[in-house]
């Protein structure tokens, strides 16, 4: 983690949290899925994020998940643990616990529901970063939280030594470039359709939901760009687009579509937790079709 521009690696997967058929945390399945993701191209994993159903897992489950995945993948990849909540004190406690459990960094989302103003948003992140023993990745996803981390707020927060990166789901490409131009924050595309576009203007990499199913295909986009083969990178991103749309652009949440698809592949996934509901047969068949079209054409 010596390169501040890629503090958590390059190709990160926003990993689902596998559950047993009865809905309990599947630690064995989590380890097996994590090992597959690393073997097929991911150099970092984000646990207990949006795709990982963090709102419906307990504090103890979050800690157990970090330990199980660390045991499965060893030290060869970076683990970033989602610790965001609507409560600053609780978030700081989760950040400390994540570091002790083996996380290399923590993902901290903007406080939701209370809709704090920007000064309060900044104070929240600073307090968590002050409390954490590991670096912080800010998570800007206003479509879910109701509150943006404004570019000016990002620029101020970049002065904190413990805040090193951003997972971006803001859909504000101009604002992103402004922050990258004025700070050393490492940006990670949190929307799969932006993986190549954001990387091309200087991002560190991605935190990909689609990588749960096709980690090698996501990594290949960035590999091609790193090799200065921009035409191939664009072609590979384009080939991913139908699966990206099916998994993240449909009416169903990405957690639901990812677990449905992985289930058809015989990979650890299990059910989603309420209030989410599983994908129906038609949606699941459509996901598998898009997956087969992509993998069959590899």
The tokens of 288 are what? 């598998």
Sign, CA dihedral 284-286-292-294, equals negative
Strand, helix or coil at 19? strand
Residue written as token pair 């958590």? 8
Q: Inform me whether the pLDDT recorded for 2 exceeds 80.
A: no
Has domain 11-228 been given CATH number 3.40.50.40?
no
pLDDT at 138: 98
User: What are 219-266's pLDDT values in tens digits?
Assistant: 999 999 999 999 999 999 999 999 999 999 888 999 999 999 999 999
The CA dihedral of 197, 198, 204, 210, to the nearest 10 degrees, is: -70
Question: To the nearest whole number, what is the mean pLDDT of the chain?
Answer: 96
Round to whole Å and give the CA distance between 194 and 288. Answer: 23
> Are 203 and 177 in contact, with CB atoms under 8 Å apart?
no
Round to whole Å and give the CA distance between 50 and 255. Answer: 8
Q: Which residues pair with 168 in a beta bridge?
A: 140, 189
Q: Which helix H or strand E contains 75, and what residues bound it?
A: none
| pTM listed for this prediction | 0.96
The tokens of 129 are what? 């970063």
Round to whole Å and give the CA distance between 168 and 158. Answer: 15
> Are 271 and 21 in contact, with CB atoms under 8 Å apart?
yes
Strand, helix or coil at 249? coil
Give the DSSP per-residue string, 129-179.
HHH-SS-EEEEE-HHHHS----HHHHHHHTTSTTEEEEEE----HHHHHHH
Of the candidates 6, 62, 113, 139, the residue annotated as catalytic is 139
Strand, helix or coil at 68? helix
Of the candidates 62, 112, 113, 167, the residue annotated as catalytic is 167
Q: Is 139 a catalytic residue?
A: yes
Q: Is 113 a catalytic residue?
A: no
User: What are 84-132's pLDDT values in tens digits?
Assistant: 999 999 999 999 999 999 999 999 999 999 999 999 999 999 999 999 9
Strand, helix or coil at 9? strand
Question: Could you state, in order of their start, the residue ranges of all structural domains in the chain?
Answer: 11-228
Helices (H), 185-253: 195-200, 215-226, 230-248
- Segment 189-205 shows an average pLDDT of 97
Round to whole Å and give the CA distance between 223 and 228. Answer: 9
Q: Inform me whether the pLDDT recorded for 37 exceeds 50.
A: yes
pLDDT at 3: 42
């Amino acid at each position: 983690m010596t390169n501040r521009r890629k503090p958590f690696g390059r190709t990160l997967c926003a990993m689902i949290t596998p559950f047993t058929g009865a809905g309990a945390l599947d630690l064995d399945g989590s380890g097996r899925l994590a090992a597959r993701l690393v073997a097929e191209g991911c150099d970092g994993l984000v646990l207990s994020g949006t795709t990982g159903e963090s709102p419906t897992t307990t504090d103890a489950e979050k800690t157990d998940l970090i330990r199980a995945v660390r045991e499965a993948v060893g030290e060869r990849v970076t683990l970033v643990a989602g610790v965001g909540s609507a409560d600053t004190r609780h978030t700081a406690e989760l950040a400390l616990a994540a570091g002790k459990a083996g996380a290399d960094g923590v993902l901290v989302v903007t406080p939701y529901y209370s809709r704090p103003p920007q000064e309060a948003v900044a104070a929240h992140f600073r307090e968590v970063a002050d409390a954490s023993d590991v670096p912080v990745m800010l998570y800007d996803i206003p479509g879910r939280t109701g509150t943006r981390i404004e570019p000016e707020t990002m620029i101020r927060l970049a002065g904190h030594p413990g805040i090193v990166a951003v997972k971006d789901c803001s859909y504000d490409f101009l604002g992103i470039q402004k922050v990258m131009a004025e700070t050393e924050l490492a940006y990670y595309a949190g929307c799969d359709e932006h993986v190549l576009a954001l990387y091309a203007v200087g991002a560190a990499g991605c935190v990909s939901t689609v990588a749960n199913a096709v980690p090698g295909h996501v990594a290949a986009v960035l590999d091609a760009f790193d090799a200065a083969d921009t035409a191939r990178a664009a072609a590979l991103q384009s080939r991913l687009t139908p699966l990206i749309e099916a998994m993240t652009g449909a009416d169903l949440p990405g957690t639901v579509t990812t677990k449905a698809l992985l289930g058809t592949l015989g990979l650890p996934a299990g059910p989603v937790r309420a209030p989410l509901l599983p994908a129906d047969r038609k949606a699941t068949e459509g996901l598998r079709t898009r997956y087969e079209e992509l993998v069959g054409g590899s």
